[in-house]
Structure 1
Amino acid sequence: MKMHALVLGFLFGLLLFVGLNGLAQDNSGLPKGVGPISEVELAELDPALAEAGKASFEQYCTACHKIEERYIGPALLGVTERRSPEWIMNMIINPDVMIQEDDTAYELFAEFMTPMANQNMTEEQARSILEFFRSNDAE
């Protein structure tokens, strides 16, 4: 009987560990999209970079996007949890090709019936906007 309880305890602990570990998974297995960004190294949140990203977001993106609500485009709160950093940056830099060649980007286009405008952003601008999204999602 003790052995049975010990085995059950072990199995319960193993299931708990696996379940909690699954909750902590990152989004590195998510698609990276189509474009020049193949890998993004994320470190601790950079407040100065996030502030620059906020300025770029306000200048280029707010005509179609809001953080917390659907507008012409999707709400962006939680985007860093739903999409990989590479996908986000490729969508910012390369929206035309993404809509044509990436299934998720095409589905968003089909849902919102408006293609994302190509703002001719640099990788640096896209990275700063990604950092701004990360700062919003960390709150």
Structure 2
Amino acid sequence: MKTLKTVAVAALTFALFSCGGDKKTDSIPTGSTETTAATTDESTAEMEATAAKYDPNRGLGKHENIDVSTFDPAMAAAGKKVAEVKCTSCHKPTEEKLVGPGWKGVTKRQTPEWIMNFITNPDPMIDVDPELQKQLELCLVRMPNQGLADNEAREILEYMRQIDGAK
């Protein structure tokens, strides 16, 4: 029991100090705003360029022309297994919101390309998509990048299609 308490205290201490971020201040002289302003300008320009490339039907990313002409039950079953590990702590297969929104109806509202691009790399899309920003205001938590492989994302898409009645 003493060992368990020691491990718990060590983990808590590590978590508290690791979340502090990088406190380096030697690269920016005290009182200097030039570097900060330049960084902000670059970030703003990058965000505007990304927003200009944003396609609300496809999202942002490499996934284009996803063929969903036939339903694959084996792929949907594999997608359910991946989702149980990586997704269901925040999403329900119903319309009910958990941490994030429920999945029921998502394949009716979004294209397969949009879904694939979002679940494989959510951050750039959250930054520019007005609907995702509204969702963030409701959920209060950004969707984390789960590091899904393309095949896992495609399996999850097929599982979402099954939820929405694909056969």
Q: TM exceeds 0.5?
A: yes
TM-score, normalisation: structure 2: 0.63
Query: Which ranges of structure 2 fall in alignment gaps of 5 or more residues?
Result: 1-55
TM-score, normalisation: structure 1: 0.75
Give the alignment partner of residue 43 of structure 1, picking from 59, 69, 93. Answer: 69
Are 1:55 and 2:65 counterparts?
no
2:149, 2:127 → 1: CA distance?
21
Query: Which ranges of structure 1 fall in alignment gaps of 5 or more residues?
Result: 1-29
1:7 corresponding residue in structure 2: none
> Quick one: which amino acid aligns to residue 149 of structure 2?
T
- Count of matched residue positions in the alignment of Structure 1 and Structure 2: 110
Q: Is the contact between residue 98 and residue 106 of structure 1 (CA under 8 Å) also seen in structure 2?
A: no
1:87 is displaced (CA, Å) by 0.8
- Structure number with bigger Rg: 2
Deviates more, 1:107-116 or 1:123-132: 107-116
Runs of 4+ in structure 1 over 3 Å off: none
1:114 corresponding residue in structure 2: 141
Q: Deviations over 1:35-90 (max 9, x none)?
A: 11122111211000000000001010011111111110001111100111111111
1:44, 1:117 → 2: CA distance?
30
Q: Please provide the CA RMSD for this pair.
A: 1.3
> Quick one: which amino acid aligns to residue 82 of structure 1?
R
1:110 is displaced (CA, Å) by 2.1
Residues 7-46 of structure 1: pairs in structure 2 closer than 5 A: 31-46=57-72
